[in-house]
Structure 1
Amino acid sequence: MPVPAPRGARSRSAFDARLLIGIALIAASVGGAMLLGAASDDVRPALAASRTLTPGETVTAADLVERHVRLGDAESRYLVPAELPEGGVIVTRAVDAGELVPVSAIADRRSTRYGAVVIGVTGRLSGGILPGATVDVWAAQQAGGGDHFAPTVIVAAATVVSVEVDSSGMVSGRTTGVELLVPRERLALLLEAMADGDAISLVPVGLPLGR
């Protein structure tokens, strides 16, 4: 017949089990805190637009708000406070209010990547040619004898900065000028076409369905 364990031995065994369970719970709590801390380390500050930013304007810290977000591998694609120049940046394409600012949508004010030029356009403009729109610039050359050459794209993906219209205020009316932000390497070709009196047309790029 088995001899029952002494009462003291049973008490020590129960105490040891509770002690081990307590140690395990503490270890799990510490491990969870460490994982939470590691996850929070992935949060980084990034800059978002406090209002809609339009192409061609200079944007400084006053136009931006700081957000703490987890970007992971995409961190290099967005503007962060440490990379904002003191004099601000130039917006090259529209950024909506509240949107994180992509580095692809800005340029350093000292950069020579872009130049602004105003193009005179007569007649009606497409309704899609508005500030912030992307357009291709087409030019139709004319020979000395009056013969026309086939139109060609001389600037692809220029950005509309502003549109000046007549007193009627209708974009579809006669336009006095459209200011474009143009890649610097295409600027000379555009100015040459304007000086030669070529017929210049603007064609919106990527219009939404149904327009």
Structure 2
Amino acid sequence: MVRRPERSERGALRLDPRLVIGILLVAGSTTGVWALVSGLDDSVEAYALRETATPGTRIEAGDLVVESVRLGATVDRYLVPGEVPDRGLVVTRTVERGELVPDSAVDDVDRSGLASVVVPTRGALPTGLGPGSTVDVWAARELERGAYEPPAVLVANAEVAAIQEPEGMVDSGGVSVELLIPRDKVAALLEGLTAGDSIDLVPARATGR
């Protein structure tokens, strides 16, 4: 009588060695690619500003956000975590929101030679005016009621530091604009504001930085 093979013998699975070798080759290839990509990733962490900052603004670590970027050999030119002292740093030129902070745009002390003056406006501001914008401050002295001298530029290329909207339930007559101007122009501008001169802000012609 012929003996039939047992069920367990018929169902036994034979593992093809070629399949095992193929799996090992794929796994090795995947690991190699991952290691190569990881080795090529030269991303570093650098600081970017949460909001636009103008010259004379003191910034601290809380005003910054960490970005992972590829800077290559230029990494030493930007502010990175660990380089902001507890007392903060002073911005020496306008740095836009989301922009990486160059080392050249900050200093330990304010050396800008600029002063901040708030100028009330008589009407609507020019479209697109905001922090970092530059304006020429035009002034016309009142000769008599309703009559003014020809207007002239009192301060050229003043930088807008902030725009202050009216607060409270009562409209105070318009927004006020905080300007950064050379210290030697402060007296003339304050004199014009006190005398009630007609003062207007006109967007300055764009200049490259």
**Do they superpose with TM above 0.5?**
yes
Q: How big is each residue's C-alpha offset from its partner over 1:37-73, in whole Å with a ceiling of 9 and x where there is no partner? A: 9xx6xx8764222x23344754211222265643646
Partner SS, residue 202 of structure 1: strand
Letter in 2 for 1:186: K
**Is residue 141 of structure 1 aligned with residue 138 of structure 2?**
no
Q: How big is each residue's C-alpha offset from its partner over 1:65-87, in whole Å with a ceiling of 9 and x where there is no partner? A: 265643646954x4355753432
Partner SS, residue 165 of structure 2: strand
Cα distance, 1:104–1:169 mapped onto 2, change above 3 Å: farther
RMSD: 4.2
Farther off after superposition, 121-130 or 52-61: 52-61
Farther off after superposition, 196-205 or 78-87: 78-87
Asked if the contact 1:138–1:203 (Cα under 8 Å) also holds between the matched residues in 2, the reply is: yes
Asked if the contact 1:132–1:160 (Cα under 8 Å) also holds between the matched residues in 2, the reply is: yes
Deviation (angstroms), 1:183? 3.3
Asked if the contact 1:139–1:199 (Cα under 8 Å) also holds between the matched residues in 2, the reply is: yes
Asked if the contact 1:138–1:200 (Cα under 8 Å) also holds between the matched residues in 2, the reply is: yes
Q: Which residue of 2 aligns with 1:156?
A: 157
Cα distance, 1:126–1:106 mapped onto 2, change above 3 Å: farther
| Unaligned segments of structure 1, at least 5 residues | 1-35
Identity of aligned residues (%): 34
Q: Which residue of 2 aligns with 1:59?
A: 59
How many Å separate the matches in 1 of 2:116 and 2:162? 8
Q: How does 1:1-211 map to 2 (within 5 A)?
A: 46-49=46-49, 51-55=50-54, 58-64=58-64, 65=66, 67=68, 69-70=70-71, 72=73, 75-76=76-77, 78-80=78-80, 84-91=84-91, 93-97=94-98, 99-102=99-102, 106=106, 108=108, 110-111=110-111, 113-142=113-142, 148-165=149-166, 174-205=173-204
TM-score by length of 2: 0.56
| Unaligned segments of structure 2, at least 5 residues | 1-38
Partner SS, residue 193 of structure 1: helix
Deviation (angstroms), 1:127? 2.6
